[in-house]
Structure 1
């Protein structure tokens, strides 16, 4: 079964990102036989890491590797992701089982990991009409999905990371201040000395509004959103939580704010609709404020000074899209869709200021 979100790779000889002969030899060392009659298929969603469905004679597997071209230091960390999967899978079964980690660049030209494959439904910018028509729940499909997204996040933040052997994964002390410094630095590098006025204003607001008291740290995903949850196609229950290369220990309110930075509402300004990350502006999804309230109730956690986290997460997503634009501008990708990301990033900076002024939640 091949889920939505995969694109067929025409032949074994034309699989960018993989050297199939060397990969076949590597897998054989671990008792896995790559089926050479079926070409790997690449998951087509996302702008970052590359994911391939591998058919081996033993079982289907997923190979995950960094994107082609230069990778920023510390980004797309396969070793970190492998450690997280290995530690979390026994405690949080939504996390897939890691099978192999390879840091030998001679195999496919980059580090990679291999993990179990769990087929299912991935929902990105839109919910297909077929999925909507099949929905048999008594509540709107978006209301059900919104609640399930929040439930998964709450379950993640309840994990005992010490018991999982992940107590030294990151540096939770000073997480918020360090995160603010990091994204501010990336922002100025991304605009290369030509910082928009909204970026300057946003950075000044964030510096002036850092929370004084921060609650207990938890394990955080750091890019938690709907398309990183693989769903049962019929019941839409979560099956798998993926994309762990940025996972760390930190402030759970930041994880919630990152989720809400993708959460578009019907009356949002145009840049939020141009994100096209989650279908939350339709189908009866909760609003951002309602989703945050659901989270607070599920975790028993107060949302103190949450506007700061929302603004910080909006800065983050603006910088991410500006970094993608710079990759396009420098020739790192020829995808014409990246050409619009400069305007999108600037629009998100302006939206961040509106959130800071409490014009939007």
Structure 2
């Protein structure tokens, strides 16, 4: 079966084939001399490739190009996480090989098993359009997978050392606020962001700091849980084949995941500017309240009253993620043209976070 989502490698993101062949030779099954490399076009962070070694296929993950924040995009950590999570949560793909030598392709990387399925990005794909109830089943699969992730017994699975859940919410605010300010400083002379008085970014940060709740639970947190990080059965949008992109996974408050998931689900446009035709505003898809109700039913926990703070954090966190990517693009550290609209997207997210705050304050 071919890889419908894989395409020729983007210019500037090619892999050094000879060095890669030698690094793989004798370490994984397959015909290394027949190596063929394609690239998965989705995502704005780590680079993901399809490797074909004759009849064998693998997925390679590496950090993005350009200078990176300290500790970010750690492929060795991500592979180690997957090796421990895969046995207790089978939707997590199995890592097969880690290469820590950055000299091979320009950064450490790892190979994981190749899983086949449908990734839904901005619209319902053709294979689902004639299936009865496909939008509702897709939304259910999204939220059920999130609840199941949070239901993993971190102590029984031996995962307690993956992070420090105590104080997680406060660290989220402090960490993302610092990243936002550094990216804003890097762009201060470019005119790409509105002035702080218009953007209200510092007011958003101050509100998050003043209202930071204690953790509602200690759980495995994916930290970037969204629809296009799921791979689905092409014949059944209600069956998840894989959950991808585990780079930021840690232990913390599960509502941080839910808040970000709802952020993505309710946005009119997804990062990059594509209209969101698979979210809360699209015909047939469950709305925000329906997702929350299903999460409560699946998890057995009442969460609706606590969610406003986490949804503000979700909008703020996504604003930081996209402005960091845009800053790398604006400063010439990466050439991917998909990044050009991200400054406007970050500004929209920040303004939306402020609107949510004003709505919440009016209710109190």
Give the TM-score of the pair, scaled to structure 2.
0.89
| 2:147 aligned residue (143, 148, 154) | 154
Whole-Å Cα distance in 1 between the matches of residues 60 and 288 of structure 2?
Answer: 34
- Equivalent residue runs for 1:322-341 within 5 Å: 322-341=323-342
Distance 1:9 1:307, change over 3 A: closer
What is the CA distance between 1:278 and its match in structure 2? 6.8
Aligned twin of 1:76:
73
Query: 5+ residue gaps in structure 1?
Result: none
The answer for the alignment partner of 2:185 in structure 1 is 192
What does the per-residue CA deviation read over 1:182-232, in whole Å, with 9 as the maximum and x for residues that have no partner? 111111111118562310221122122212x42221001100011111111
Q: Deviations over 1:234-291 (max 9, x none)?
A: 11211011110110000000011111111126xx6x7899465672131311111221
**Superposed counterparts of 1:1-361, under 5 Å:** 1-9=1-9, 16-37=13-34, 39-57=36-54, 59-128=56-125, 130-135=126-131, 137=132, 139=133, 141-192=134-185, 196-197=196-197, 198-211=200-213, 213-236=214-237, 237-264=239-266, 274=273, 276=275, 279-280=278-279, 281-303=281-303, 304-358=305-359
Give the drift of 1:31.
4.3
Q: Give yes or no for contact 1:196–1:346 (8 Å, CA) kept in 2.
A: no
- Cα shift at 1:5: 2.1
Are the counterparts in 1 of residues 60 and 109 from structure 2 also a CA contact under 8 Å? yes
CA contact (8 A) 1:50 1:64 kept: yes
> CA 1:354/1:93 → structure 2, altered by over 3 Å: closer, same or farther?
same
Once residues 272 and 89 of structure 1 are traced to their aligned partners in structure 2, the CA distance between those partners, rounded to angstroms, is: 29
- Aligned residue for 2:96, secondary structure, equals strand
Kept after mapping to 1: 8 A contact 2:34/2:54: no
Separation of aligned partners in 1, 2:336 and 2:103:
27
Alpha-carbon distance between aligned partners in 2 of 1:338 and 1:26, rounded to the nearest angstrom: 31
Aligned partners of 1:166, 1:255: CA distance in 2, in Å?
18
Partner of 2:162: helix, strand, or coil? coil
Aligned to 2:191: none
Deviates more, 1:349-358 or 1:193-202: 193-202
- Matched residue count: 350
Counterparts of 1:34 and 1:358, CA distance in 2: 59
Aligned in 2, Cα 1:133/1:214: closer, same or farther, shift over 3 Å? closer
Q: Whole-Å Cα distance in 1 between the matches of residues 53 and 338 of structure 2? A: 34
Q: Aligned-pair RMSD on alpha carbons?
A: 2.5
Residues in 1 aligned to 2:101 and 2:271: alpha-carbon distance in whole angstroms: 40
d(CA) in 1 for partners of 2:339, 2:111:
29
CA distance in structure 2 between the partners assigned to 1:120 and 1:272 by the alignment: 23
SS at match of 2:20: helix
CA deviations on 1:286-316 (whole Å, 9 max, x unpaired) are 1112211211121112224211111011111
- State whether residues 262 and 278 of structure 1, in contact with CA within 8 Å, keep that contact through their aligned partners in structure 2: no
Residue deviations 1:17-57, cap 9 Å, x none?
42221221121232434444452111111111111111124
State the distance in 2 between where 1:160 and 1:252 align.
Answer: 13
